[in-house]
Amino acid sequence: MSHLVAPSILAGDFANLRTDIEMLNTSEADWIHVDIMDGVFVPNISFGFLVLEAINKLTSKPLDVHLMIIKPDRYISRFKKAGASNLIVHLEACVHLHRTIQAIKQEGMHAGVALNPHTSVNNLEDIIQDIDQVLIMSVNPGFGGQKFIEHTYRKVEYVRNLILKSDSKALIGVDGGVDSSNALKLIELGADVLVAGSSIFRSDNPIKTIAALKAL
């Protein structure tokens, strides 16, 4: 499988979301990454269901919804209704992660697990066979535009090996500070999904930037 590119709409212009989504529709973006922050799990608040629904009405691209919220179980069916295709929860936010994963799948969504930079990838050993995506955070979640943490490379390698030796079809996503300086190495080490916000939306030509990330 060739890798996927998932632009993070957090870096878009929220006064002109329609323009940004229409731009993504004409691009080679595979998914649209949507960051939901609750001000508790992370020190920032982004937006909720209404904005997600509005985005969903403007695109047929799958929405890759990254929940940076505590107790995500409360809202799984609401995120499905709002248009999520993939629902990613944080390992650090789930006491009964296996149950949460099953609930996401029962709603007909792909289930993903995100790991903060300090969280060891060893924690995936007993859940990897049940999930559709691992999202390795390469910045501390909460804000766009941060610097890529180099240690991420080793985590990608570890998860790739874990997937190879287990009965898992999980995709490996990397989220935070992804740009042309690190994307190729991430793919070579086994990343399947590049999530990128600032490097796409702050570039002179986002459509070309997406195409360049796809062409790696």
Tell me which residues are annotated as active site. 35, 175
Which pair of tokens denotes residue 92?
């650090």
59 binds, among ligand DX5, Zn ion, none (CB under 5 to 8 A by kind): none
Scanning 19-27, 75-83, 87-95, 141-149 for contacts with ligand DX5 by CB under 6 A, the matching segment is 141-149
**Furthest-apart CA pair in the chain: how many Å?**
46
| Contacting residue, 20, 30, 35, 64, with ligand DX5 by CB under 6 A | 35
55 binds, among Zn ion, ligand DX5, none (CB under 5 to 8 A by kind): none
Minimum separation from the CB atom of position 63 to ligand DX5 (A): 13
Q: How many CB atoms lie within 10 A of CB 53?
A: 12
End-to-end CA distance of the chain: 13
Which pair of tokens denotes residue 62?
């799958």
**Which conformational region is residue 177 in: left (phi greater than 0), alpha (psi within -120 to 50 degrees), or beta?**
left
| Contacting residue, 119, 123, 129, 146, with ligand DX5 by CB under 6 A | 146
Does 175 sit near ligand DX5 (CB under 6 A)?
yes
Beta bridge partners of 175: 137, 195
Would you tell me which residues interact with Zn ion (CB under 5 A)? 35, 66, 175
